[in-house]
Amino acid sequence: MLDLLHLHGFKCAGSSLIWALQQHYGDALGYVEHPDPGTRLAWLTLEVVHPRRPFQAVTSHLITLPPPGRVAHLKVAFLRDPIARLASAYRFQRDTQKAQWLENLSFEGYLENLARSSLANFQTRHLSPQEPVDWELRAGWGARPELIDLERTDLFVGVVERYDDSLVVLEAMLEAHGIAISLAYGTARNTTEPSKQDRTAALALPSHKYLFMTELDRSLLLRAHDRLDRHLAALPDLEARRHAFRERCNAIAADPIALRGQPLRPVPQWDYLSDDGWVNVRH
């Protein structure tokens, strides 16, 4: 069984977490995706096939959430304010990926396009366990918030806006499984900063324009905040853990070699997995 399975939600601080995992696991960290972009990867496919690869941890944008006791000792995901996440995705696709379809499209137009797709309430869909009907009707992207059990002892859902506290709790949960990992970081990775024009456009949006495509995500985020509060309250040495974590982060930030660290694996070197097995063999 894997130590950790990271369900990487797009623009939810995934690259920062993966950087820390990369420093610990090196080549034993699998970047596992379906070869067809956007196609969900059933958790059972990874469980059946992954022993052929020497992974100790896996990160994936596309894998579905496994049930308790399957695939990994701990499943990890992060949630973010849904409008902030959508705005970050818009900037990343427009400014970093240079998506031509966004060249003259406003943020409001971007949201209207997403509203007609399964990307509405994306974070809820991403974390929802998928039942047979969801595969049949939604190709594995069904929104099933009633199936997301944040009380599971093998599931941690952090909050991007409370990233450091989330990592303090995650380190403690991994320790409880006998897994000692430092998740400290020196700088945030793969981020985009909004321009003044972007901020103004987002603030000007009337709430009815986006409520229906974010309301499930907002509800789930509130649940995650509550669960994080209870995790923190249960740590008897919380302040000492916070201090030690911040000291480790500062030490990385002050050391150019440590700050660079092992780079994230480029897309061509990811591990692609379909129902038929591994598509590529990484050397």
- Burial 17-37, CB ≥16 within 10 A → b, else e: bbbbbbbbbeebbbbbbbeee
- The pLDDT mean for the chain works out to 89
Q: At what angle do helices 211-233 and 107-115 cross, to 10 degrees?
A: 90
Average pLDDT of the residues in 204-211: 68
One-letter amino acid for residue 101 of the chain: W
Q: What is the pLDDT of residue 58?
A: 97
Note if the pTM is more than 0.75.
Answer: yes
Mapped onto helix, strand or coil, the DSSP state of residue 243 is helix
Greater pLDDT, 101 or 123: 123
Q: How many CB atoms lie within 10 A of CB 201?
A: 17
Average pLDDT of the residues in 116-120: 78
Q: What is the pLDDT of residue 283?
A: 44
> Bridge partners of 159?
79
Of 270, 282, 276, which Cα lies nearest the Cα of 8?
270
> Bridge partners of 278?
273
Q: Using one digit for the tens of pLDDT, what is the confidence trace for 183-194?
A: 999 998 766 565
Inform me whether the pLDDT recorded for 214 exceeds 70. Answer: yes
> How far apart are the C-alpha atoms of 176 and 198, rounded to whole Å?
43
DSSP codes joined into one string, 4-59: EEEE--TTSSHHHHHHHHHHHHGGGEEEEE-SSTT--B-HHHHHHHGGGS--SEEE
Q: What is the pLDDT of residue 281?
A: 52
Q: What is the pLDDT of residue 44?
A: 94
Q: What is the pLDDT of residue 205?
A: 66
Average pLDDT of the residues in 139-159: 97
Inform me whether the pLDDT recorded for 198 exceeds 80. Answer: no
